[in-house]
Amino acid sequence: MSLEETQVQTAGTHQRPYIQAPSGKGRMRAHIRKHAMPYLLILPSLLFLVAIEFYPLGVGLLEAFKYHNRVQPWATQYNGIDNFVKAFNDHTVRIALRTSFVMVFGIVGLSYLLGLLSGVLLNQRLRLRGVYRALILIPWVAPPVVSFISWQWMLNDQSGIINRILINLGIIGEFDPILWLADPTLAMVSIIVVGTWSRFPFMMITVLAALSAIPDDLNEAAAVDGATPFQTFRHITFPLILPVSVIATLLQAIWVFNDFGLPFVLTGGGPANATTPLILLAYKEAFQRFNIGYGTSLAVISMVLMLALGAVYLRLQAKQQGEMS
Partner 1 sequence: MMVTVSEKPVVPAQAHDLNTSGRSRRRRRRVHGGKIVWSIVTHVLLILITLFAIAPLAWAMSSAFKTNSEILTGLNFFPRNPTWDNFAFVLGSTEFPTWLRNSLLVAFGTTFLALIIGSLGGYAMSRWRYRGRALYGNTLLIVQMFPGVMLAIPLFLLLSDYGLIDTLWALLVTYLTFALAFSVWMLKGYFDAIPREIEEAALIDGANRMQILWRIVLPLAGPGITTVAVFTFLLAWNEFFFAYVFLASPGKYTLSIGMYSFIQQFTTQWGNIMAAGTLTTLPVLIFFFVLQRALTRGLVSGAMKG
The interface with partner 1 within residues 183-242 (CB under 8 A) comprises 197, 201-202, 205-206, 208-209
Which residue's CB is nearer to partner 1, number 186 or number 251? 251
45 binds partner 1 (CB under 8 A): yes
271: left (phi over 0), alpha (psi -120 to 50) or beta: beta
Is 292:111 a contact under the CB 8 Å cutoff?
A: no
Which residue's CB is nearer to partner 1, number 222 or number 292? 292
12 binds partner 1 (CB under 8 A): yes
CA 207 – CA 246 distance, rounded (Å)? 11
Which residue's CB is nearer to partner 1, number 67 or number 283? 283
How many residues in the shown chain lie near partner 1 by CB under 8 A?
105
Burial of 203 (0-12, 13-18, 19+ CB in 10 A): buried
269: left (phi over 0), alpha (psi -120 to 50) or beta: left
Is 277:257 a contact under the CB 8 Å cutoff?
A: yes
Listed ranges 23-31, 103-111, 162-170, 176-184: which one lies at the site for partner 1 (CB under 8 A):
162-170
44 binds partner 1 (CB under 8 A): yes
Cis status of the peptide bond prior to 271, with omega within 30 of 0: yes
175 binds partner 1 (CB under 8 A): no
182 binds partner 1 (CB under 8 A): no
What are the angstrom distances between the C-alpha of 74 and each of 35, 153, 255, 283?
49, 44, 36, 22
275 binds partner 1 (CB under 8 A): no
Contacts of 280 (CB under 8 A, 6+ apart): 96, 260, 263, 264, 269
CA 119 – CA 129 distance, rounded (Å)? 11
117 binds partner 1 (CB under 8 A): yes
Listed ranges 22-30, 32-40, 89-97, 179-187: which one lies at the site for partner 1 (CB under 8 A):
32-40
3-class DSSP state for residue 66? strand
Is 66:78 a contact under the CB 8 Å cutoff?
A: yes
CA 112 – CA 249 distance, rounded (Å)? 7
Which residue's CB is nearer to partner 1, number 11 or number 182? 11
Listed ranges 90-98, 172-180, 233-241, 261-269: which one lies at the site for partner 1 (CB under 8 A):
261-269
Listed ranges 87-95, 177-185, 232-240, 287-295: which one lies at the site for partner 1 (CB under 8 A):
287-295
116 binds partner 1 (CB under 8 A): no
CA 324 – CA 316 distance, rounded (Å)? 12
Quote the least distance from Cβ 23 to partner 1, whole Å. Answer: 19
16 binds partner 1 (CB under 8 A): yes
Interface positions, 47-86, toward partner 1 (CB under 8 A): 48-49, 51-57, 59-60, 63
Interface positions, 131-160, toward partner 1 (CB under 8 A): 132-139, 141-147, 149-154, 159
